[in-house]
Amino acid sequence: MEALDTLKYINENSKHVFVDKENISRYLDTINDWNYHYWLENETVTLTEKELIIFAFLCESMNFCFWDNRKWTINYKHNNYGGSEALFYAMLKAVNSNPQFLNINHLLHMKKKEFKKIMKQNNQLPPMFDKRFKLLKKTIRTIYYKKERFYTELFSIKTDQELLNYIVSNFKHFDDKSKFKGKIIHFNKRAILLTNDLFHLSKTIKNNIQNIDSLTGGADYALPRLFEEHGILKYTNELSDIILNEKLIRHNSQMEIEIRANTLYVLELMKQHLKEHHINLNSIELDNIIWNTRNQGKIRKPPHHTKTIYY
């Protein structure tokens, strides 16, 4: 309940972003399928449990800020993907084409030139390519120097919060927090997604932690855009003009914190509403289901633009 209390506090003290609770139920009525599907469950992969863990760490270490190059897409099995989906499928193609790709020694010595070949799609590289490569190598080095202790530590974890804390403590580039009027809010979007990945990809971790029900959703730029389109999030004229004109909003500014925190607050309100109607989802499942509806219908406004490694 502590996270919800913090989100509610930010909601009640926001100056730029407001929540229209009446529009929440109207929006939820537009969604027909409440079944959650983890993206990799439909793919045929022959990776070991440890390789799947490395795959998840690598992907989420680079999973941020795709709005700056919307031309960067990938075609995979006759479907076209952009953003984070393009990243995951580009990495999956690399794994499928090279059985040794996830070998930690290979990854440790991988040069930027090799990685560029993997990421270059349609003659385009993802935005912030150099930063992604740098964080990828940081992740690889941390795993490499821990050696077998890396898996021993992961497999000794007993709760979702403990797993989340392990990620942000050992991989500092996942530590995504902000301060609002003296209160610290731990957004940890990529670490939450990684916790979800590990829960679904590692049988050992899933058996140990049992569920990931105590985590919030992932605060990024896709859901607030969607919620604003449906009248759930409402912005001041000043903030609306900034977003409409695609001006940068500084990371950790009050506007950005309000957008992210109120998005998470909406997700928690939605979760409560659905529970009252006998639909039980955790915040990450709900987040993913809604995220997958983002391309249904025409969204007229751009997302808010923040240059950051955190989402």
Q: How does pLDDT run across 198-219, given as a tens digit for each residue?
A: 999 999 999 999 999 999 999 9
Region of 305 please: left (phi>0), alpha (psi -120 to 50) or beta.
Answer: beta
DSSP E strand boundaries for 112-204: 177-180, 183-186
The first and second tokens of residue 251, run together, are 């990371």
301 pLDDT band, cuts 50/70/90, is confident
Quickly list H helices, the chain.
2-12, 22-28, 49-61, 83-97, 104-108, 112-119, 129-146, 149-154, 160-170, 189-201, 203-209, 222-229, 237-244, 254-276, 283-291
Region of 230 please: left (phi>0), alpha (psi -120 to 50) or beta.
Answer: alpha
Q: How does pLDDT run across 89-114, given as a tens digit for each residue?
A: 999 999 999 989 999 999 999 999 99
- Asked whether the beta carbons of 231 and 211 are under 8 A apart, the reply is no
Average pLDDT along the chain = 95
Q: How does pLDDT run across 226-265, given as a tens digit for each residue?
A: 999 999 999 999 999 999 999 999 999 999 999 999 999 9
Residue 75 pairs in a beta bridge with 80
Residue 282 pairs in a beta bridge with none
Q: State the residue for tokens 């984070």.
A: 84
